[in-house]
């Protein structure tokens, strides 16, 4: 921990880990939150591929790191290095928030609560009994699936290119009569949905799947966990398909960051001013954390 020469307050060290991570808005978001409380904060973006993540995290801890956010593709790997997992991280099998403790890293997952707060409080959606399609079964999908179920959605269909990953997520969620894993190739046989959530990074990799228009209706809400350019292909499909609500992941990003901030600093930041500021520059944003 270092000391800011302009203040007697210690500078608290945090970071976001991912690969790639240079695009991340997390440093900006947490800087805005810290200013609300006069907290001296050093929040960096640290690029670490999966094979180097453990070493990079150990170096960060040795240099005084107190907590970290975890983004693609490290969320499930991060869960494996924690000495303790919160209930929501355990249910997800993925971690996006690390808290340094005397015994090692504690892991939490704030993605789900961030998504639900954005959809219900900012966008005013009632998620109860919505027949839901979740596209993807990686760390992002794992983070939001338990929260969607807790929010009262109806049946949840999980589709993924690799069916085994969809099966694994469904097994983790543990509600076989309500959660249905399927292959992505079979999505055209599933009927239409009231809520469609894209939790893949396919658009960033220029591999966004072709989705049938029959999935959406005029009552459908389509949500992409990415934002900016990465959300364009899915939200463009949703517009043509006639979905009533088309929402990107910027609000979720801000809300999950606020939850992480509160875990670290025990203070709840105001999110609306930060969201509005970032939304003004949304055309330059690249992808989700």
Q: Which residues are known catalytic residues?
A: 75
Cβ neighbours, 10 Å, residue 243? 23
For residue 244, whether the previous peptide bond is cis, meaning omega lies within 30 degrees of 0, is: no
Is residue 227 part of an annotated ligand binding site? yes
SS3 224: strand
Q: Report the C-alpha gap between 39 and 9 in whole angstroms.
A: 8
Residue 280, annotated as binding a ligand: no
**Structure tokens belonging to residue 178:** 């309500």
Residue with the two structure tokens 């459908």: 220
Q: Is 256 annotated as a binding residue?
A: yes
Integer Rg of the chain from CA: 19
For residue 140, say whether it is annotated as part of any ligand binding site: yes
Is 164 annotated as contributing to ligand binding? yes
Q: Is 71 annotated as a binding residue?
A: yes
- 24 labeled part of a ligand binding site: yes
Question: 3-class secondary structure for 42-105?
Answer: EEEEEECCHHHHHHHHHHHHHCCCCEEEECCCCHHHHHHCCCEECHHHHHHCCCCEEEEECCEE
- How do the residues of the chain divide into helix, strand and coil, expressed in percent and rounded to 5? 45, 20, 35
Phi, psi angle pair for 63, to nearest 5°: -90, 10
User: Among candidates 68, 162, 169, which has minimal Cα distance to 110?
Assistant: 68
Residue 139 annotated as part of some ligand binding site: yes
| Residue 138 marked in a binding site | yes
281 is in an annotated binding site: no
Q: Is 175 assigned a ligand-binding role in the annotation? A: no
97 marked among binding-site residues = no
Q: 165 among the known binding-site residues?
A: yes
Does the annotation list 51 as a binding residue?
no
Alpha-carbon distances of 194 from 131, 240, 281, 285, rounded to whole Å? 5, 16, 30, 28
Was 63 annotated as part of a binding site? no
Quick one: tokens of 73? Answer: 């593709």
Binding annotation for NADP(+): 87, 136-140, 160-165, 225, 249
Binding annotation: 24-26, 71, 87, 96, 111, 136-140, 160-165, 225, 227, 249, 256
Binding annotation for shikimate: 24-26, 71, 96, 111, 227, 256
């Amino acid at each position: 921990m270092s000391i800011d020469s302009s203040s007697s307050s210690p500078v608290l060290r945090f970071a976001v880990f991912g690969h790639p991570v240079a695009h991340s808005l997390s440093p900006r978001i947490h800087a805005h939150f810290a200013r609300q409380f006069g907290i001296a904060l050093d929040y960096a973006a640290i690029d670490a591929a999966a094979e180097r993540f453990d070493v990079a995290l150990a170096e960060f801890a040795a240099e005084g790191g107190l907590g970290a956010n975890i983004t693609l593709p490290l969320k499930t790997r991060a869960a494996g290095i924690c000495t303790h997992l919160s209930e929501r991280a355990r249910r997800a099998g993925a971690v996006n928030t690390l808290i340094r403790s005397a015994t090692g890293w504690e892991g939490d997952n704030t993605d789900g609560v961030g998504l639900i707060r954005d959809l219900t409080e900012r966008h005013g959606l009632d998620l109860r009994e919505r027949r839901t399609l979740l596209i993807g079964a990686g760390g992002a999908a794992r983070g939001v699936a338990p929260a969607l179920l807790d929010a009262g959605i109806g049946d949840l269909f999980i589709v993924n290119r690799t069916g085994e990953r969809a099966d694994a997520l469904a097994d983790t969620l543990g509600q076989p009569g309500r959660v249905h894993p399927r292959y992505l190739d079979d999505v055209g046989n599933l009927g239409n949905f009231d809520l469609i959530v894209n939790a893949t990074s396919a658009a960033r990799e220029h591999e966004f799947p072709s989705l049938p228009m029959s999935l959406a209706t005029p009552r459908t809400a389509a949500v992409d966990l990415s934002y900016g350019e990465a959300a364009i292909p899915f939200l463009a499909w949703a517009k043509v398909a006639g979905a009533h609500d088309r929402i990107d992941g910027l609000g979720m990003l801000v809300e999950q960051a606020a939850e992480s901030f509160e875990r670290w600093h025990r203070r709840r930041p105001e999110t609306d001013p930060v969201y509005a500021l970032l939304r003004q520059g949304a055309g330059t944003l690249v992808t989700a954390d």
